[in-house]
Amino acid sequence: MNAINVTGNGLIWQPHPDLPAPTEHEVVIDVAWAGMNRADLMQRAGAYPPPPGASTILGLEVSGHVAAVGASVTHLKAGDEVCALLTGGGYATQVVVPAAQVLPIPQGLSLQQAAALPEVFATAWLNLYVEAALEPGERVLLHAAASGVGTAVIQLAHIMGNPVFATAGSDDKLALCTQLGADAVWNRHNGSFVQAVKDWGGADMVLDPVGGDYISQDQQVLNQNGRIILIGLMGGREAKTDLGLLLMKRQRLIGSTLRSQPVRVKGEIMDALYEIVWPRLESGEIKPVIDRSWPIVDADEAMAYLQSNASTGKVLLSVP
């Protein structure tokens, strides 16, 4: 097999040792498309190592065809078109993954479209409906809303009855957010979002991939019993918090990562997506949002584009 190797000269597509046969509950996938995520940027920079035992190859989501299944896997068979949530290993011609993290692609979607689904919708579900435990009608403040995760969050929250206030860095990105179902928007280049969100009615939850000085602003817009779910550190790892506000308004600040969750939890998330999101993908009510794609041999160029913050939705890699 071939895989991307991180070297001092960039991301190099080169031969890699073949993977072992699947264990009882695993699936081998011949990869057709791999999704690119900011976690891959962080891992490449040495800031987000894979969990113990996980593949050191970049890549947290793929689509492709089942090549082989373990003895106890009954819902999948060789040749099936699938997409999968990974702990690593996606930038390769093959990947081995627990069967609980693999789903058939939604009817009517291509393998390319399916590669844009697992990581972003699993992240959205985990943080909105597990970590924050949102109830219908509760309001969401979403930062970096035109990202792959952001476009999934807007659509998921919309169908679940949770209004979204979206922030992003351009009017074009905000126009897309509105089209996807955001109820209100704010261009971060216009200054602090605090007053605009307060005028909107405040937020019961903030999904924050920024951190840094956004945390203190997030606190100011939270309603009673509000939750900040921190999923990234684009703005830095140090923040000022108002502990008095945290106490008096019963606020919660929750750090959340999907990658290190156990297989059981990931399986529960994928089951929820299959029940709730997959039918709406098939009906067209929800759609994957793809910005651009590159051949995997040009992964360096694709990653530079993702790092530039110019993308809207997902960046994908095609695998020969």
Q: Collapsing DSSP states into helix, strand and coil, what is residue 51?
A: coil
Q: Which residue is it, tokens 């956004």?
A: 214
Q: CB–CB of 239/213 below 8 Å? A: yes
List, for residues 253-271, the tens digit of each pLDDT value: 999 999 999 999 999 999 9
Report yes or no: 128 and 153 within 8 Å, Cβ to Cβ. Answer: yes
In the predicted model, is pLDDT for residue 236 greater than 90? no
pLDDT in tens, 39-97: 999 999 998 999 999 999 999 999 999 999 999 999 999 999 999 999 999 999 999 99
pLDDT tens sequence across 298-317? 999 999 999 999 999 999 99
Answer yes or no: are the C-beta atoms of 249 and 225 closer than 8 Å. Answer: yes
**What count of Cα atoms within 13 Å lies in the side-chain half-sphere of residue 242?**
16
Model pTM score: 0.95
Which tens digits make up the pLDDT trace of 110-128? 999 999 999 999 999 999 9
pLDDT above 90: residue 275: yes
**Domain layout of the chain by residue ranges:** 2-117+288-318, 123-255
Average pLDDT of the segment spanning 174-202: 97
In whole angstroms, give the CA distance from residue 121 to residue 210.
19
- The DSSP call for residue 129 is I
Sign of CA dihedral 279, 118, 183, 133: positive
| Average pLDDT score, the chain | 96
Cβ atoms < 10 Å from Cβ of 32: 21
Looking at the predicted structure, is the pLDDT value of residue 246 above 90? yes
Distance in angstroms (rounded) separating the CA atoms of residues 283 and 160: 16
Instruction: Answer yes or no: are the C-beta atoms of 242 and 219 closer than 8 Å.
Output: yes
Strand 140-142 to 2-7 pairing: unpaired
Looking at domain 2-117+288-318, its CATH superfamily turns out to be Medium-chain alcohol dehydrogenases, catalytic domain (3.90.180.10)
| Homologous superfamily of the 123-255 domain (CATH) | NAD(P)-binding Rossmann-like Domain (3.40.50.720)
Cα 175 to its chain centre, rounded Å, is: 21
Cβ(231)–Cβ(209) below 8 Å: yes
Q: DSSP per residue over 267-303, as a string? A: HHHHHHIIIIIHHHHHHTSS---EEEEEEGGGHHHHH
Q: What angle do CA 305, 47, 294 make, to 5 degrees?
A: 25
Residue with tokens 């937020």: 203
Over the stretch 151-184, which tens digit does the pLDDT of each residue have? Answer: 999 999 999 999 999 999 999 999 999 999 999 9
